Amino acid sequence: MSAAFDSPPHAAPMLRVILRVVGWCGLGLIAGAVALSDFLAHAPAGAANAGSILDAPSPAHPFGTDLLGRDLLSETLHGLSVTVGHALLGTIVAIVLGGLFGAVAARLPRPVGLALRGVMDVFAAIPALLLGILVIGLTARLYAPLAAGLAAAPLAFVRAFDRVDTKSTHAEYARATGISAATLLRRDLTYEFRDTLATVTARALAAVTIILSTVSFLGFGATPPARDLGLMIAAAKTSYLHAWWTAAAPAFALLILILCARLAAGLDESERP
């Protein structure tokens, strides 16, 4: 009797496809907002006295103003631009040192590949935020985007390594026909990694954005005048209770960015659609 209320077998996969489309559309809108931030913003980045101090949201200032009278709509757009720019740099690092390197390592001689997998397992066991802060501490806050990419790379490496089926039928047939390992590697990277690049990119973008925003909130990331969303939320902590909009505006923008990236990455079978 309960079977009558079960979802059709294709319902979950279809929902995942819909959510991925929604995620990519959201990222497209965010990219448009970032590209047009100077046009959409009512004031330049950091422009004080655009309104009264701590004005609540109003038609003149839809997101309100902060402690310095800065228009929060404008500041949120500028902060989003900084966050996206830094996150894209970190995402490239995570893709190259994580996804791409993991796919290559899986096709190296078995002992070498397993050794690299073991090393990455050790780094993947360390919380990514802690790893990012450690890298920043060993370098400088200027390199926070690179540190975030390095922190996200181990898990991306492990995912890419485990996704490769080196004993697939096509691989065995290719070896039997005398195709060299280098040729097989180029073929696999051209087709298989290309087919998963969108998912790897979106997942890395979400992870790097979380790391970057958190380290900025803790004081290890962006430095003024280049304020990202994490730093904006941290700067508003003295007015959380009596001027909630000072933190709500950048927090909402950050939430939408991470949510869209996570939806665009798709959901694993073990995750809820």
Look at residue 268 in the predicted model and tell me its pLDDT: 60
Look at residue 76 in the predicted model and tell me its pLDDT: 94
Cα–Cα distance for residue pair 170/38, rounded to 1 Å: 51
Residue 185 falls inside a structural domain = yes
Q: Cα 197 to chain center, whole Å?
A: 14
Structure tokens at 144: 């926070």
Residue 52 falls inside a structural domain = no
Residue 260 falls inside a structural domain = yes
User: Residue 78 is which amino acid?
Assistant: H
Residue 213 falls inside a structural domain = yes
- Structural domain count of the chain: 1
Residue 28 falls inside a structural domain = no
Residue 33 falls inside a structural domain = no
Look at residue 96 in the predicted model and tell me its pLDDT: 92
Cα–Cα distance for residue pair 132/148, rounded to 1 Å: 5
Location of structure tokens 């073991």: 118
In this structure, the dihedral spanned by the alpha carbons of residues 165, 166, 172 and 174, taken in order and rounded to 10 degrees, is 100
Look at residue 51 in the predicted model and tell me its pLDDT: 83
Look at residue 10 in the predicted model and tell me its pLDDT: 53
Look at residue 192 in the predicted model and tell me its pLDDT: 65
Cα–Cα distance for residue pair 77/237, rounded to 1 Å: 19
Which ranges of the chain have pLDDT less than 70? 1-12, 165-195, 267-273
The CATH number covering residue 95 comes to 1.10.3720.10
> pLDDT for 130-176, tens place per residue?
999 999 999 888 899 999 999 999 999 998 888 775 555 555 555 55
Residue 135 falls inside a structural domain = yes
Q: Cα dist. 9→12, 22, 52, 242, 271 in Å?
A: 7, 21, 56, 49, 16
Provide the b/e sequence for 90-128 (b: ≥16 CB within 10 Å). bbbbbbebbbbbbbbbbbeeeeebeebbeebeebbeeeb
Look at residue 179 in the predicted model and tell me its pLDDT: 64
Spatial CA neighbour of 231 closest among 161, 150, 141, 117: 141
Cα–Cα distance for residue pair 42/51, rounded to 1 Å: 11
Cα–Cα distance for residue pair 41/24, rounded to 1 Å: 24
Return the SS3 of 68: coil
Domain of 150, in residue numbers: 68-265
